[in-house]
């Protein structure tokens, strides 16, 4: 089959909150011809399947579909072209994307590319859970699509494994579908914070060790503290968390990846190591909140507009190294020498609870600052730091080491 080749000014891959917000910003900012690709039947991403009121302003929260509708409208009204049912299959060079769709094959070249491909959850095989292979084992995304999009039943008795927003969304969807949630199984030593309406039995410091059943799931074996094993009878197991960035396109294009998040390595302008290629949203870290992803999409678009105007360059090389219990921080690169750090948002993740956390930074043994964080640090609950931290870092020095704790480091700004 012959492949059509064409060019656009700006190409956005992914039509979730980050991609839609980026497209609107690009088109409104005069980027020229802006196109958004997505493999799904329609734009919106995961929020389309999340009906609870957890999006938008805290004082007037919206359900997922109501939240994404204005994003879609803004992109269209700004002049961006939304192309659903288009699958990006490769990137032979920076700024070039190969796609397939019902009409055939295409190779699209763009002067600026924003990767907003999101994340996926690790399936059972990647989590190395042994046992039989019965029906009834799902990721949270598969559950939401099955229940909310295709209106299928969710079973009668369910076990949810994991923590964080994905686990809450799974519990909520199961309850709405009439299923009894037998337990929420988490490897963390403390139970997650559950709203009163979603409270279920929680097994902490535990993990699903085996799946049982022939044609259909009949139960799971759960290991707990001291290697104790118990069986939970269920016909549905929902695996949540452990998000993996959908970064295959970035990898194929030759972009450097962050070893901690496994997503594209970006600096504070959300530039990748490839000139003209930017990344925003869940592709950076494997998960996150929709409003934050949309804000990153706009931020990446503004950087792309500067690139289109002739001020573009690849990401900086000064690395932020996370020290345990800090798992990762993104963006993980600071700007190139001579460029002021833009005001933005850093996202952090921890492996254990830390009360009254502060972010501490040092470079080559020299303290750089101390920034209080907004709330208790909990596994599976991202922390955000706003403003212009790390401004005292030497662009030509060694990596900046960042950790969570309390020291006598001099205070730095906490919010911008």
- pLDDT, average across residues 170-190: 90
Rounded Cα gap, residues 287 and 285, in angstroms:
6
CATH 3.10.150.10 is right for the domain spanning 123-239? no
* Residues in CB range of 106: below 8 A, 6 or more apart: 3, 4, 5, 6, 98, 99, 100
The three-state secondary structure class of 61 is coil
Exposure letters 18-53 (e unless 16+ CB within 10 A, then b)? bbbbbbbbbbbbebebbbbbbbbeebbbbbbbbbbe
| pLDDT tens, position by position, 104-162 | 999 999 999 999 999 888 888 888 899 988 989 999 888 888 887 777 888 899 999 98
Q: What is the pTM of this model?
A: 0.86
How many whole angstroms separate alpha carbon 230 and alpha carbon 224? 8
Angle of the 290-306 helix axis to the 17-28 helix axis, nearest 10: 30
Same fold, 4-120+243-313 and 123-239: yes
pLDDT mean over 358-385: 89
pLDDT number for residue 147: 83
Q: Is 221 left (phi over 0), alpha (psi -120 to 50) or beta?
A: beta
What is the chain's mean pLDDT, rounded?
88
CATH for the 4-120+243-313 domain, from 3.90.230.10, 3.50.50.60, 3.40.50.300, 3.60.21.10: 3.50.50.60
Question: 213: pLDDT confidence band, cut at 50, 70 and 90?
Answer: very high
pLDDT digits (tens, 9 = 90+) for 11-69: 999 999 999 999 999 999 999 999 999 999 999 988 877 776 777 777 777 887 888 99
Confidence check: pLDDT of 407 > 50: no
Distance CA 205, CA 186 (A): 6
Cα R_g (the chain), whole angstroms:
22
| DSSP annotation of 145 | I
Where do the structural domains in the chain lie, given as residue ranges?
4-120+243-313, 123-239, 334-406
Least confident of 58-67, 234-243, 279-288, 347-356: 58-67
| Minimum mean pLDDT range among 37-41, 155-159, 278-282, 386-390 | 386-390
Region of residue 66 (phi > 0: left; psi between -120 and 50: alpha; otherwise: beta): alpha
> Are 156 and 237 in contact, with CB atoms under 8 Å apart?
no
In the numeric block, the tokens 């999101």 are attached to 118
Cα dihedral 88→92→97→103 (10° resolution): -70
Q: What residue spans of 137-182 are helical by DSSP H?
A: 140-144, 165-176
- Checking phi first, is residue 312 left (phi over 0); if not, alpha (psi -120 to 50) or beta? beta
Band the pLDDT of 248: cuts 50, 70, 90: very high
C-alpha–C-alpha distance, residues 211 and 161, integer Å: 12
**Measured distance between the N- and C-terminal CA atoms of the chain, rounded to whole angstroms:** 53
Per-residue pLDDT, 313: 72
Average pLDDT over residues 180-200: 85
- What sign does the CA torsion over 294, 300, 303, 309 have? negative
C-alpha to C-alpha distance for 326 and 349, rounded to whole angstroms: 6
Rounded mean pLDDT of 258-272? 92
Tokens of 388: 């212009």
What H or E segment, with its residue span, contains residue 249?
Answer: helix 248-253
**In this prediction, what percent of the chain has a pLDDT beyond 70?**
93
Q: Give CA separation, 386 vs 54, 147, 317, in Å.
A: 21, 37, 21
């Amino acid at each position: 089959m012959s492949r059509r080749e064409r060019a656009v000014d700006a190409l956005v891959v992914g039509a979730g909150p980050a991609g839609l917000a980026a497209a609107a910003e690009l088109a409104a900012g005069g980027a020229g011809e802006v196109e958004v690709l997505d493999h799904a039947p329609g734009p919106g991403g995961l929020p389309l399947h999340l009906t609870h009121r957890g999006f938008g302003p805290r004082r007037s929260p919206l359900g997922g579909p109501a939240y994404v509708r204005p994003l879609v409208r803004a992109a269209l009204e700004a002049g961006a072209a939304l192309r659903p049912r288009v699958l990006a299959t490769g990137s032979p060079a920076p700024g070039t994307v190969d796609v397939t769709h019902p009409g055939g094959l295409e190779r699209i070249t763009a002067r600026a590319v924003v990767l907003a491909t999101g994340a996926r959850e690790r399936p059972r095989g990647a989590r190395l859970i042994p046992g039989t292979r019965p029906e009834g084992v799902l990721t949270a995304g598969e559950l939401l699509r099955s229940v909310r999009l295709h209106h299928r039943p969710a079973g009668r008795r369910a076990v949810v494994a994991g923590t964080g927003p994905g686990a809450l969304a799974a519990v909520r969807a199961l309850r709405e579908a009439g299923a009894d949630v037998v337990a929420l199984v988490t490897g963390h030593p403390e139970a997650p914070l559950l709203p009163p309406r979603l409270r279920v039995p929680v097994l902490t410091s535990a993990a699903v060790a085996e799946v049982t059943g022939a044609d259909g799931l009949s139960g799971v074996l759960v290991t707990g503290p001291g290697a104790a094993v118990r069986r939970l009878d269920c016909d549905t197991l929902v695996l949540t968390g452990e998000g993996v960035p959908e970064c295959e396109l970035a990898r194929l294009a030759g972009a450097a990846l962050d070893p901690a998040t496994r997503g594209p390595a970006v600096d504070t302008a959300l530039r990748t190591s490839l000139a003209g290629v930017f990344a925003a949203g869940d592709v950076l870290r494997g998960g996150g909140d929709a409003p934050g992803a949309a804000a990153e999409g706009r931020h990446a678009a503004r950087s792309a507009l500067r690139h289109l105007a002739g001020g573009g360059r690849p990401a900086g090389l000064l690395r932020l190294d996370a020290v345990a219990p800090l798992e990762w921080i993104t963006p993980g690169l600071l700007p190139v020498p001579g460029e002021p750090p833009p005001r933005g948002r850093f996202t952090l993740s921890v492996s254990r609870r830390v009360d009254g956390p502060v972010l501490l930074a040092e470079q080559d043994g020299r303290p750089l600052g101390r920034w209080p964080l907004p709330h208790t640090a909990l596994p599976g609950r991202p922390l955000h730091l706003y403003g212009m931290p790390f401004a005292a870092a030497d662009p030509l020095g060694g990596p900046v080491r960042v950790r969570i704790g309390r020291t006598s480091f001099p205070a730095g700004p906490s919010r911008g």
